[in-house]
């Protein structure tokens, strides 16, 4: 009887250990391979000017990460949506260059906690 109890006990322990390990691996992999929704933004840039936009450069970061995103050639009236791996509300730097040589630089959306935003771009915006 004692041998039967030891076998059942060791099988139960093995299954318990296996379940705990599987759960732990699931938690770790979910944390490593997922991006929390509250850490991303979708920003749509709309060229509301009569000039083509040659480029838009975004600079943003945190204590552990610094990123730059560049969008090229946006015709008047057209828009471009960029996804940022950046928490809403922290703000980011924008540098817009128009075909006529006009350049604007500004900090956008600091304190704005919306995850999806549309910015109308035209010379003078943000200044």
Share of residues in the chain with pLDDT > 90 (%): 60
Distances (CA, A) of 118 to 2, 6, 18, 28, 42: 72, 66, 49, 35, 9
Q: Per the domain annotation, does 126 fall within a domain?
A: no
Give me the pLDDT at residue 64, please.
82
- The strand ranges marked E within 1-102 are 41-47, 53-61, 66-74, 79-84, 90-98
Q: Are residues 53 and 13 in the same domain?
A: no
Give me the pLDDT at residue 125, please.
61
Give me the pLDDT at residue 16, please.
62
Q: Which positions ≥6 away from 101 have C-beta within 8 Å?
A: none
For the purposes of burial, counting CB atoms within 10 Å of the CB of 29, is it exposed (0-12), middle (13-18) or buried (19 or more)? exposed
Predicted confidence (pLDDT) per residue in 23-64, tens digit: 655 655 555 555 555 689 999 999 999 999 999 999 998 788
How many domains does the chain divide into?
A: 2
Q: Are residues 105 and 81 in the same domain?
A: yes
Please provide residue 111's backbone torsions phi and psi, each rounded to the nearest 5 degrees.
90, -10
Give me the pLDDT at residue 19, please.
57
- Interior/surface letters 32-51, b for 16+ CB within 10 angstroms, e for the rest: eeeeeeeeebebebbbebeb
Report how far residue 71's alpha carbon sits from residue 13's, in angstroms, rounded to the nearest whole number. Answer: 56
Q: Are residues 61 and 89 in the same domain?
A: yes
Tokens of 87: 């928490």
Q: Per the domain annotation, does 25 fall within a domain?
A: yes
Tokens of 1: 């009887």
Q: What is the CATH number of the domain that holds 99?
A: 2.60.40.2890
Give me the pLDDT at residue 124, please.
77
Q: Are residues 100 and 117 in the same domain?
A: yes
Q: Please give the average per-residue pLDDT across 74-89, as a whole number.
A: 95
Q: Are residues 65 and 110 in the same domain?
A: yes
Give me the pLDDT at residue 44, please.
98
Q: Per the domain annotation, does 127 fall within a domain?
A: no
Q: Are residues 97 and 41 in the same domain?
A: yes
Q: Per the domain annotation, does 10 fall within a domain?
A: yes
Domain enclosing residue 19, as ranges: 1-34
């Amino acid at each position: 009887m004692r041998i039967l109890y030891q076998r059942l006990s060791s099988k139960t322990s093995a299954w318990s250990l296996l379940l705990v390990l599987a759960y732990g691996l699931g938690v770790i992999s979910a944390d490593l391979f997922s991006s929390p929704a509250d850490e991303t933004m979708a920003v749509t840039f709309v060229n509301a000017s009569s000039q083509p936009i040659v480029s838009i450069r975004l600079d943003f970061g945190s204590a552990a990460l610094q990123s730059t995103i560049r969008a090229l050639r946006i015709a008047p009236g057209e828009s471009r949506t960029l996804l940022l791996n950046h928490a809403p509300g922290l703000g980011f730097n924008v540098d817009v260059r128009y075909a006529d040589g006009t350049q604007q630089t500004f900090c956008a959306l600091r304190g704005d906690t919306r995850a999806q935003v549309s910015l109308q771009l035209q010379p003078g915006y943000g200044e």
